[in-house]
Amino acid sequence: EAQVTQNPRYLITVTGKKLTVTCSQNMNHEYMSWYRQDPGLGLRQIYYSMNVEVTDKGDVPEGYKVSRKEKRNFPLILESPSPNQTSLYFCASSLGALNTEAFFGQGTRLTVV
Protein backbone atom coordinates (compact mmCIF):
# COMPACT_ATOMS: atom_id res chain seq x y z
CA GLU A 1 0.00 0.00 0.00
CA ALA A 2 1.32 3.42 -0.99
CA GLN A 3 1.74 5.51 2.11
CA VAL A 4 3.58 8.18 4.03
CA THR A 5 4.32 7.17 7.61
CA GLN A 6 5.08 9.61 10.39
CA ASN A 7 6.12 8.86 13.93
CA PRO A 8 5.20 9.58 16.59
CA ARG A 9 1.53 10.51 16.16
CA TYR A 10 1.46 12.40 19.45
CA LEU A 11 4.28 13.95 21.43
CA ILE A 12 4.43 16.12 24.53
CA THR A 13 7.84 17.53 25.36
CA VAL A 14 9.47 20.28 27.38
CA THR A 15 11.08 23.44 26.12
CA GLY A 16 14.63 22.93 24.90
CA LYS A 17 14.61 19.12 24.66
CA LYS A 18 15.71 18.07 21.19
CA LEU A 19 13.31 15.88 19.27
CA THR A 20 12.97 14.23 15.88
CA VAL A 21 9.82 13.41 13.97
CA THR A 22 10.38 10.72 11.38
CA CYS A 23 8.79 10.51 7.96
CA SER A 24 9.07 7.66 5.48
CA GLN A 25 7.43 7.06 2.09
CA ASN A 26 7.30 3.87 0.02
CA MET A 27 6.43 5.38 -3.38
CA ASN A 28 9.95 6.29 -4.55
CA HIS A 29 8.96 9.96 -4.66
CA GLU A 30 11.66 12.55 -5.24
CA TYR A 31 9.87 15.43 -3.56
CA MET A 32 9.16 15.53 0.17
CA SER A 33 8.11 18.35 2.43
CA TRP A 34 7.04 19.25 5.94
CA TYR A 35 4.07 21.44 6.81
CA ARG A 36 2.64 22.72 10.03
CA GLN A 37 -1.08 23.23 10.47
CA ASP A 38 -2.40 25.92 12.77
CA PRO A 39 -6.03 27.01 13.22
CA GLY A 40 -7.13 29.53 10.60
CA LEU A 41 -3.74 29.49 8.88
CA GLY A 42 -4.08 26.33 6.85
CA LEU A 43 -0.85 24.46 6.20
CA ARG A 44 2.44 26.29 5.88
CA GLN A 45 5.55 24.74 4.41
CA ILE A 46 8.54 24.40 6.74
CA TYR A 47 11.15 22.70 4.56
CA TYR A 48 11.20 20.71 1.37
CA SER A 49 13.54 18.37 -0.45
CA MET A 50 13.69 17.78 -4.18
CA ASN A 51 15.93 14.74 -3.89
CA VAL A 52 18.61 13.08 -1.75
CA GLU A 53 20.93 15.65 -0.16
CA VAL A 54 18.88 18.53 -1.65
CA THR A 55 16.85 20.51 0.89
CA ASP A 56 15.57 24.07 1.05
CA LYS A 57 13.60 26.38 3.30
CA GLY A 58 9.89 26.83 3.00
CA ASP A 59 7.85 29.67 4.43
CA VAL A 60 8.40 29.03 8.15
CA PRO A 61 11.79 27.30 8.61
CA GLU A 62 12.97 29.04 11.80
CA GLY A 63 13.64 26.58 14.63
CA TYR A 64 13.60 23.49 12.41
CA LYS A 65 16.17 21.34 10.61
CA VAL A 66 15.78 18.52 8.11
CA SER A 67 17.98 15.99 6.36
CA ARG A 68 17.57 13.76 3.30
CA LYS A 69 20.19 11.05 3.39
CA GLU A 70 17.95 8.44 1.76
CA LYS A 71 15.21 8.92 -0.77
CA ARG A 72 12.48 7.40 1.40
CA ASN A 73 13.19 9.26 4.67
CA PHE A 74 12.87 12.93 5.57
CA PRO A 75 13.10 13.54 9.33
CA LEU A 76 12.15 16.85 10.95
CA ILE A 77 14.43 17.95 13.78
CA LEU A 78 13.65 20.48 16.48
CA GLU A 79 16.97 21.22 18.18
CA SER A 80 15.50 23.36 20.96
CA PRO A 81 11.70 23.27 20.84
CA SER A 82 9.72 26.22 22.11
CA PRO A 83 6.00 26.56 22.96
CA ASN A 84 5.30 28.43 19.68
CA GLN A 85 6.19 25.20 17.86
CA THR A 86 3.17 23.50 19.38
CA SER A 87 1.28 22.48 16.27
CA LEU A 88 0.08 19.66 14.03
CA TYR A 89 2.80 18.58 11.62
CA PHE A 90 2.40 16.82 8.29
CA CYS A 91 4.92 15.20 6.03
CA ALA A 92 4.06 14.95 2.34
CA SER A 93 5.62 13.40 -0.73
CA SER A 94 5.04 13.61 -4.47
CA LEU A 95 6.72 12.63 -7.72
CA GLY A 96 8.12 16.12 -7.94
CA ALA A 97 6.69 17.28 -11.21
CA LEU A 98 4.46 20.30 -11.03
CA ASN A 99 0.75 19.51 -10.67
CA THR A 100 1.22 16.01 -9.30
CA GLU A 101 -0.72 14.81 -6.29
CA ALA A 102 0.86 15.17 -2.87
CA PHE A 103 0.43 12.28 -0.43
CA PHE A 104 0.26 13.18 3.24
CA GLY A 105 1.10 11.33 6.41
CA GLN A 106 -1.43 11.11 9.23
CA GLY A 107 0.15 13.92 11.18
CA THR A 108 2.09 14.42 14.40
CA ARG A 109 0.51 16.47 17.12
CA LEU A 110 3.31 18.14 19.07
CA THR A 111 2.87 19.98 22.35
CA VAL A 112 5.80 21.88 23.83
CA VAL A 113 5.35 22.93 27.45
Partner 1 sequence: GNSVTQMEGPVTLSEEAFLTINCTYTATGYPSLFWYVQYPGEGLQLLLKATKADDKGSNKGFEATYRKETTSFHLEKGSVQVSDSAVYFCALSESAAGNKLTFGGGTRVLVKP
- Residue ranges that bind partner 1, judged by CB under 8 A: 4, 31, 33, 35, 40-45, 48, 50, 56, 58, 90, 92, 94, 96-102, 104-107
CA-to-CA dists, residue 7 to 40, 50, 54, 62, angstroms: 25, 22, 22, 21
CA angle 53, 32, 51 (to 5 degrees): 30
| Segments of the chain assigned E as strands | 4-7, 10-13, 19-25, 31-38, 42-51, 54-57, 65-66, 76-78, 87-94, 103-104, 108-112
Nearer to partner 1, 1 or 101 (CB): 101
Give least dist CB 25 to partner 1, A: 12
Nearer to partner 1, 33 or 85 (CB): 33
Give least dist CB 53 to partner 1, A: 15
Nearer to partner 1, 45 or 111 (CB): 45
Give least dist CB 15 to partner 1, A: 27
Nearer to partner 1, 18 or 57 (CB): 57
Distance of CA 70 to the CA centre of its chain: 15
Give least dist CB 65 to partner 1, A: 18
